[in-house]
Amino acid sequence: MLRLDNVRLDLPTKENLINGVSLSIERGKLTVITGPNGGGKTSLAKLIAGLFVPTSGKIFLDDEDITDISITDRAKRGIAYAFQQPVSFKGITVRTLMETAAGADMPEMKMCRILEKVGLCARDYMDREMDSGLSGGEMKRIEIATVLARDADYIVFDEPEAGIDLWSFTSLIDAFGKLKEDRDSALLIISHQERILDIADEIIVIRDGVVASSGTRDEIFPTLLSGKDKAYCPKGQEMF
């Protein structure tokens, strides 16, 4: 279990603050964090992955206090983090990135299986550089694939839907579902997307840096369509 205990984060910009969040992410479950933009969702993800250090409060991984350990050590303990904005690398190929993520050489068949989950053909992409030669959507899909390649126990996806076309999004939803079935991982997805909220086991609503509400999908999902947490979208897709 991954547990945040009264975590605060003060940032110089005064934006995306976290004002005392306590929550738990359990293995074998898909937890979705949702809420309005600027409410602190990405900050929470970065706190979990170690990109931000809390101003106060504690983070525990399977009862080990990991509040002060580095990004690298958290990765080695099984935390994976898919960036909202993929990072480009001049000269580093998709193959190198995937193998770095997996920590070993990767047979082509395995690379095919992983990239297929994000709607890409390995043969077309594995020798391409992870840079401006790829479109934003392609970069995003490869970013997600690097995290899938890690076989991690705790996987954080920060808005995986952003920049992904509908066809790939459908296969991504399937990938999340399969990930849940195949592994006893804890999946934490930050998302506004109704279809992702729909496959959640647990939903946590973050607003103004605090947990506005949390519970099972059946408890929380209806409240997002009415009452205090209502979020109207004419297309009926984006919940916030």
| Contact residues for another protein, defined by CB under 8 A | 49-51, 70-72, 75-76, 80-81, 83, 87, 89-93, 96-97, 100-101, 103, 146, 150
> What secondary structure letter does DSSP report for 70?
-
d(CA 141, CA 135): 10
Q: Which is nearer to another protein, 188 or 200 (CB)?
A: 188
Q: Which is nearer to another protein, 32 or 142 (CB)?
A: 142
Q: Environment class of residue 57 by beta-carbon count within 10 Å: exposed (0-12), middle (13-18) or buried (19+)?
A: middle
Give whole-number Cα distances, 98 to 5, 110, 186, in Å: 33, 10, 21
Smallest distance, Å, CB 76 to another protein? Answer: 5
Smallest distance, Å, CB 73 to another protein? Answer: 9
Question: What do you get for the CA distance between the two ends of the chain, in Å?
Answer: 28
Phi, psi for residue 128 in degrees, rounded to 5: -90, 150
Smallest distance, Å, CB 113 to another protein? Answer: 19
Q: Which is nearer to another protein, 61 or 205 (CB)?
A: 61
Smallest distance, Å, CB 130 to another protein? Answer: 9
Other C-beta atoms within 10 Å of 29: how many?
A: 18
Q: Which is nearer to another protein, 23 or 45 (CB)?
A: 45
